[in-house]
Structure 1
């Protein structure tokens, strides 16, 4: 296993169209947004926070783009503003049932058994599930107030506790501060 936490043969590349990192295996030409099986999620989170987080290049810069990148796992309930999702047309679970589900997922993630991205892919009620819950970069005012406050309060690599919004209940993992200010080159 490499310093990235990825299994042998896998590497991290940057998408030109989305400006997001993705996972690529050159020997099989497989590419994917979510980490491959057998990834060490703690190592990967630490690597991504250290290597794919923008760092200010000028201490006097105005920091004009106060944007962060985060992912989330959303569990909706019957009281959510839109109680339906890509996987369930009519969500009838109670808020208490949704909380119990999300707390089980939180326990699994914190134990290192699975990553938020892995669980979000199949369990999140948000359409971002197909991207492992990745919401990309967003700034202040782009998200619901409770979500925004929780996400901006996290340090890169940290995960929130349960956050309640009108959409439902969330776990939020912050990936990066600011838009990327790095460039990557790849050997052909």
Structure 2
């Protein structure tokens, strides 16, 4: 894998963690490893590479098994410079304002609504499709899928919105200390991934 293909700076490569079954960034010479891309990464190239090689459609690890009282959701997160941790796999240093983040998520919300309603739109997409390339959360690798969680597992605002959703429903815009989210409550599938 060449750095020109991944968009990573020279010496960096994408590897997969055996314990978490998630991609991470590794520098062979320095042995540096990290979840977030290193400075100097070409975000557009990395996005394309990750969508092609590290999307995990069809993979349903044990952590995604249903448990009593828990729900399963996916989300799309847009961080801003005032987020709790203004960095992501897409951008090592997020500088957009909260207003810019809100504008972006409103565009994504329109694309998702058009997809859900089958309405005409320039670029209708599912939340999962958008999360894979646009979400600032590492769950992007799984189409935004957070697996099952219960009361008290997530930030309060996120949890309240998630538990209020019907299966398959997408939330309105939700703000937390992490950034700005769109959340979709997933329908349980016993023998298939989402």
TM-score by length of 1: 0.62
Indicate the residue corresponding to 2:70 in structure 1.
67
Match of 1:92 in 2: 95
Q: Could you tell me whether the CA contact under 8 Å between 1:76 and 1:168 is conserved in 2?
A: yes
SS in 2 for 1:125: coil
Partner Cα distance (1:185, 1:95) in 2: 40
Residue among 152, 167, 182 paired with 2:178: 167
Give the TM-score, by structure 2 length: 0.60
Q: Does 1:138 align with 2:141?
A: no
Give the helix-richer structure, 1 or 2: 2
Q: Describe the superposition over 1:70-121 as per-residue Cα deviations: whole angstroms up to 9, x where unpaired.
A: 0000000011000000110110000000000000000001001110000000
Matches within 5 A, 1:1-188: 17-18=61-62, 20=64, 65-112=68-115, 113-176=124-187
Whole-Å Cα distance in 1 between the matches of residues 168 and 135 of structure 2?
A: 20
Q: 2:84 & 2:190 partners in 1: Cα distance?
A: 41
RMSD: 2.6
Aligned length: 127
CA distance in 1 between counterparts of 2:73 and 2:191 reads 24
Report the CA distance between 1:17 and its aligned residue: 3.7
- The answer as to whether partners of 1:14 and 1:20 remain within 8 angstroms in 2 is no
Q: Deviations over 1:17-74 (max 9, x none)?
A: 43659xxxxxxxxxxxxxxxxxxxxxxxxxxxxxxxxxxxxxxxxxx82100000000
> What residue ranges of structure 2 are gaps of 5+ in the alignment?
1-56, 116-123
2:88/2:136 contact within 8 Å kept:
yes
Q: Give unmatched runs, 5+ long, in structure 1.
A: 1-12, 22-63, 177-181
Per-residue Cα deviation, 1:148-183 (whole angstroms, up to 9, x for no partner): 00000000010001000000000000014xxxxx99
Distance 1:130 1:19 in 2: 15
